[in-house]
Amino acid sequence: MSQLIHEIKEAARDFLRDGEDRTVIGFEQGSLPLQSRPCFIRKENDLERLVWNGFCKNNLAGYLPKRKGKIAIVVKGCDSRALVELIKENQITRDQLVIIGVACNGMIDRNKIEADMDGESIVDVEEGEDVLTIKGTNSSKVFDRKEYLYDHCKVCTNPVPVIHDILLGQRDSNTPQAPVNDTFSDLEDFSALDGKERWKYFTEEMNKCIRCYACRNACPMCYCPECFVDASRPQWVGKSTDLSDTMIFHLMRAFHLAGRCVGCGACEQACPMGVDIRKLNRRLQKDVMDLFHYKAGCNLEEKTPLATFRTDDSDSFMVEP
């Protein structure tokens, strides 16, 4: 791991030395155990702050829309796919970027660890290749890394960045790998449920939402200067935590992301209330695959299906309602 961190720092150093007024967007140590966080580095002296570990969960591509100047950015597989979509949508240009791609072995879900700590606070963490040793207030516990990854990491199809100027690190063969052609097997159980049960689940989840918009703001593809929830003339959706308004917010956001969501899980990670936000997006990913044979963020040449019209587009929704 320390070799990898060293390589990231060197790549960033070369980038900073190559010109003036440059920014490196990477990860640094957080202020709490199990946390790393985004950092912005402009001077060589600050490069020592850069880290790489199983807590580098944020999708840094979210900081790019309409950013000016030359930027080096550290990306995982999912982040790089978001980058591809952002470039296609003209939010950032390819030649502004030096993409430091790092092969990812999955990010650790802090909430899952905390839930299994028997109420003890987490004081310190030691991250090994396969296990995490967590020191609580009274005792130490060992966690099997791959069991405590984020749900979206467990179904990740592209852990290695699809676009990069430099590629570092390696995907650990021990970490289970979903097939690159997404089978969406994680949706099977839920899809098999009766409609009433699915609606009950959805209602329970939406009741948790506090409309903080952390999901929207953390999402790299949500960059509208004025979000539809903030429009007042006309007002599309109410702003209160009324269940139907909250549902409309999440449903519409999911639709706005159809064909663009790369499943990076930034939404779920940001949510303070543990709402299962990704399920809708995941299902729409499957629908887009079924209808348009398209997976977001794979390459720069493939046009986004919902922004392009082709005569052979599926019209099953018209003939088989």
Partner 1 sequence: MNSENVKLLNKERLDDFLKVLFRDCIVFGPTRKGNMLLFDRIESIDDIVLGRGNTMNSVKDALFPQKENLFNYRHGDEGTEIQKPSAEEKGMVLFGVRPCDAQGLLLLDKVFGGGQKDPYYIDKRSKVAIIGIACENPDPACFCLALGGGPCSTKGSDLLLIDIGDKYLVKAGTPKGIAFFEEKVFEDADDEALAKASLVEKKAEESMNRAALGEAGIGEALEKRLEKLFDDPIWGEVTESCLGCGVCTYLCPTCHCFDILDETVKSTGERIRIWDSCQFPLFTRQASGFNPRPSSKERFRQRIMHKFCYLPKNENLPGCVGCGRCVTKCPVNLDIREVIKKISLREAT
Partner 2 sequence: MENPYIPFFMRIEDIVLETEDRKIKTFILAFVNEEDEARFSYVPGQFSEVSVFGKGEAPFGMASTPTRPEHLEFSVSAIGVVTEALHNLNKGDVIGVRGPLGNGYPIEKFKGKNLLLIGGGFGFSTLRSLTNYILHDPNRADFNDLTIIYGARNPGLLLYKADLEVWKKRSDINLHLTVDKEADGWKGHVGLVPNIVRSVAPGAENTFVVICGPPVMMKFTLPVVKELGFSDENIIFSLEMRMKCGIGKCGRCNMGNKYICSDGPVFFQSELARLTGEAHF
Which positions touch partner 2 (CB under 8 A)? 232-233, 235
Q: Are 208 and 243 in contact (CB under 8 A)?
A: no
Residue 15: HSE in the Cβ half-sphere, 13 Å Cα cutoff:
29
137 binds, among partner 1, partner 2, none (CB under 5 to 8 A by kind): partner 1
122 binds, among partner 1, partner 2, none (CB under 5 to 8 A by kind): partner 1
Binder of partner 1 out of 62, 77, 169, 263 (CB under 8 A): 62
Q: Binding to partner 1 by residue 33, rule CB under 8 A?
A: yes
62 binds, among partner 2, partner 1, none (CB under 5 to 8 A by kind): partner 1
Binder of partner 1 out of 70, 141, 154, 211 (CB under 8 A): 211
Q: Binding to partner 1 by residue 203, rule CB under 8 A?
A: no
Instruction: Put the strands of the sheet holding 131-136 in their side by side order.
Output: 122-127, 131-136, 140-144
> How far is residue 163 from each of residues 59, 80, 159, 214, measured CA to CA in Å?
15, 6, 12, 27
| 73 membership: H or E segment, kind and range | strand 71-75
228 binds, among partner 2, partner 1, none (CB under 5 to 8 A by kind): none
> Between 27 and 292, whose beta carbon lies closer to partner 1?
27
Q: Which one of the spans 14-22, 113-121, 158-166, 182-190 is the region binding partner 1 (CB under 8 A)?
A: 113-121
Binder of partner 1 out of 1, 212, 224, 307 (CB under 8 A): 212
Q: At its nearest, how many Å lie between partner 2 and the CB of residue 235?
A: 8
Binder of partner 1 out of 217, 286, 287, 306 (CB under 8 A): 217
- At 166 the three-state DSSP class reads strand
Report H helices in 120-258.
151-154, 188-192, 195-208, 214-218, 243-256
| 76 burial level (CB within 10 Å; 0-12, 13-18, 19+) | buried
Binder of partner 1 out of 4, 47, 103, 122 (CB under 8 A): 122
158 binds, among partner 2, partner 1, none (CB under 5 to 8 A by kind): none
3-state helix, strand, coil in the chain (%, to 5): 40, 15, 45
Q: Are 100 and 75 in contact (CB under 8 A)?
A: yes
- At 164 the three-state DSSP class reads coil
Bridge partner residues of 99 (DSSP):
73
Q: At its nearest, how many Å lie between partner 2 and the CB of residue 232?
A: 5
241 binds, among partner 2, partner 1, none (CB under 5 to 8 A by kind): partner 1
CA angle 180, 185, 190 (to 5 degrees): 150
Q: Looking only at residues 249 through 268 of this chain, which bind partner 1 when binding is defined by CB under 8 A?
A: 266
273 binds, among partner 2, partner 1, none (CB under 5 to 8 A by kind): partner 1
Furthest C-alpha separation in the chain? 65
> Between 132 and 288, whose beta carbon lies closer to partner 1?
132
Q: Binding to partner 1 by residue 165, rule CB under 8 A?
A: no
- The Cα–Cα gap between 210 and 242 comes to 10
Bridge partner residues of 126 (DSSP):
133
Task: Name the site residues for partner 1 (rule: CB under 8 A).
Answer: 30-33, 35-40, 58, 62-63, 111-112, 115, 119-123, 137, 208, 210-214, 216-218, 230, 238-242, 266, 269-270, 272-274
